[in-house]
Structure 1
Amino acid sequence: MKLASYKSGRDGRLMIVAKDLKTCCDATGIAPTLQAALDDWKNIAPSLEEQYQLLCEGSHSDAAPFDTSQCAAPLPRSYHWADGSAYVTHVELVRKARGAELPASFWEDPLVYMGASDAFIGPEDPVEVESEEWGIDFEAEVVVVTDDVPAGVTPAQAAGHIKLLGLVNDVSLRNLIPAELAKQFGFYQSKPWTAFTPVLVTPDELGDAWDGARLHLPLRTTYNGDLVGAPNAGQDMTFDFPTLIAHCAKSRSLMSGAVIGSGTVSNVGSKDGSCCLAEIRCLETIKDGKPSTPFMSFGDRIRIEMLDAQDSSIFGAIDQIIVRYEPSAV
């Protein structure tokens, strides 16, 4: 099934969306928000599925056109957002561009940071940034959403806690990152709000493309109308999602609605293009000694989407414009 949230208050209004993303129906009679549904997923999911089947069959009495302009993030805010760097080939490339070796441990132990989850933004909301000098970049990623995950789970156990999947634009402010990492205390100012696709989907919607651990489809990133990358999200993923979840739950439980990100999707050699400008710039640096592609400017547009084998959009598209943020005088 496919689930979305229309904008309403801070936690949105839960909507069920048809497989073709053309129609939807209000689900608040079953659960007011997606977080509420996840909190009691075992009991609530069957009722949502029943309405979803009616919607897909074209027999739902309250079906209405699905309007992505009304969409908040499917989870407008979450209790937990942990983003990994599961494609170690990407990390290796970044370090190579600056002449640094990759520690052997990076291939054995996942890199994960805890991001801002007090607010996510919708698929068509603008990316507001105060200054272009901060080095604005997009990062196209796959994410999973869990139910309650007990501390100490194994990867095999963690796989059963994946309830939904989607895509995100994990915006990065690249020129703020070096000073933050130099403090050896992680990202903060360099990671503004994250944007989500219009819908999250249950694993069964993905068919053979989902093997229970990785999503084996190209992730398409279009920048100012040009396709800059379509690497396969299932290839070269050093740490799969169950491994990332188990890593995050090593010493504490994860509450329902926890969002776990893959990090920037990247294939070895970037033969299918890149999912962020930083990687493109690294390739230019390795080849020419310096980057030639600038970071994003106000007015630039980024689109992130994944298509199935029939070239139909699975999650809908993130389609955003970069705009200048004006700090309030208050």
Structure 2
Amino acid sequence: MKLASYKDGSRDGQLVVVSRDLTMAHYATGIASKLQQVLDDWGFLAPQLQDLYDTLNNGKARHAFPFDPAQCMAPLPRAYQWADGSAYINHVELVRKARESEVPGSFYKDPLMYQGGSDDFIGPCDDVICPSEEYGIDFEAEVAVITGDVPMQSTPEQALEGIRLVMLANDVSLRNLIPNELAKGFGFFQSKPATAFSPVAVTLDELGDTWDQGRVNLTMQSTWNGRKVGMCDAGPEMTFHFGQLIAHICKTRNVRAGSIIGSGTVSNKGVEAKGKTDWPKGYSCIAEKRAIETIQDGKPSTEFMKFGDTIRIEMKGKDGELVFGAIDQKIVAAAALK
């Protein structure tokens, strides 16, 4: 099934069930008003939502209405935890190579992860608001999952059983703030503003055989200012699958229902041809493009995002239709709000 949270003036929105083709929706109020309620009592409430979903898809839901992604908050508008990994080691390799730094061997065995702000997510069509272009505004196209309860010391296989929903994320980064923050030795903070998520989150059965033991074998599409810049395969080159990422968090603590775990920037290796490396599938963040340019030309030439820029992030199924809807945002100056 496909679930979304509609804006209603509250912090958590109203839970709606969305048809498979993303054309129609129905409030789930008679079952649950918020997604967190469902995550807290999944075994009881999810089957009821599934019945409503089936009725909606069969065209028999009496109070259905046209689905509008612009009315969506993040599927889970605020979460108990947002932990973002860097599961595509190729991304790390490129960024490190560009600054002539080796990737530590531990990175191939132990996932990189940071804990981001989960109190202020933004919707798929909401503006990305930033105080200054000088901060180095960048998009990051990612896959994310929402969990139920996962006990401490769970294995990767056990952790996979805790995944309830899958969605897309735009984990916005302010690249020019990152170096000084990391130099303090305490991780990201100001360099990671509010994250956006796709209009809907979907259960694993919606992905069919494209869900492959913690990986989504579909193409992540990124379109910047109307130009397609990324068509990256999300599955094969994901070094750490979601079960491994969740198990990493579970090493010393429980993960509770309503936690969101991100994959990090979807990234694919370059292709060697005639002594030259090309990246035909493009990129899922500007930092990676700049790293490629530095490796090839000695310096980056692509600038970060400017006010007025747009970014669209989406993923299509085998039938060519959108699975999660699309993240479709504009970069806006904070001063414009005053």
TM-score when normalising by structure 1? 0.98
Matching residue of 2:275: none
Matching residue of 1:33: 34
Work out the CA distance in 2 between the residues paired with 1:43 and 1:212. 25
Give the residue type in structure 2 aligned to 1:292: S
Work out the CA distance in 1 between the residues paired with 2:40 and 2:238. 29
Give the secondary-structure state (helix, strand or coil) at the position aligned to 1:219: strand
List aligned pairs for 1:53-92, cutoff 5 A: 53-92=54-93
Task: Tell whether 2:167 aligns with 1:148.
Answer: no
Runs of 4+ in 1 over 3 A off after TM superposition: none
Matching residue of 1:202: 203
Work out the CA distance in 2 between the residues paired with 1:292 and 1:266. 20
Give the secondary-structure state (helix, strand or coil) at the position aligned to 1:292: coil
Work out the CA distance in 1 between the residues paired with 2:98 and 2:288. 9
Shift of 1:327: 9.1
Deviates more, 1:264-273 or 1:24-33: 264-273
Work out the CA distance in 2 between the residues paired with 1:157 and 1:169. 27
Counterpart contact for 2:143–2:169, Cα < 8 Å: yes
Matching residue of 2:248: 247
Give the secondary-structure state (helix, strand or coil) at the position aligned to 1:188: coil
Instruction: Mark the runs of 5 or more structure 2 residues left unpaired by the alignment.
Output: 271-278
Work out the CA distance in 1 between the residues paired with 2:70 and 2:267. 29
Work out the CA distance in 1 between the residues paired with 2:24 and 2:335. 36
Counterpart contact for 2:16–2:28, Cα < 8 Å: yes
Matching residue of 2:13: 12
List aligned pairs for 1:1-330, cutoff 5 A: 1-8=1-8, 9-269=10-270, 270-326=279-335
Work out the CA distance in 1 between the residues paired with 2:250 and 2:119. 20
Give the secondary-structure state (helix, strand or coil) at the position aligned to 1:230: strand
How many residue pairs align between the two structures?
329
Give the secondary-structure state (helix, strand or coil) at the position aligned to 2:180: helix
Work out the CA distance in 1 between the residues paired with 2:237 and 2:47. 35
Give the secondary-structure state (helix, strand or coil) at the position aligned to 2:206: helix
Work out the CA distance in 1 between the residues paired with 2:249 and 2:115. 10
Work out the CA distance in 2 between the residues paired with 1:31 and 1:326. 38
Shift of 1:297: 0.1
Give the secondary-structure state (helix, strand or coil) at the position aligned to 1:303: strand
1:221-242 CA-to-partner distances (Å, cap 9, x unmatched) read: 0000111011110021110000
Work out the CA distance in 1 between the residues paired with 2:162 and 2:200. 19
Work out the CA distance in 2 between the residues paired with 1:328 and 1:201. 33
Shift of 1:289: 0.6
Shift of 1:213: 1.0
Alignment RMSD: 1.0
Instruction: Mark the runs of 5 or more structure 1 residues left unpaired by the alignment.
Output: none
CA shift in 2, pair 1:28/1:94, >3 Å:
same
1:126-184 CA-to-partner distances (Å, cap 9, x unmatched) read: 00000000000000000011001111100110110001000000000000000000011
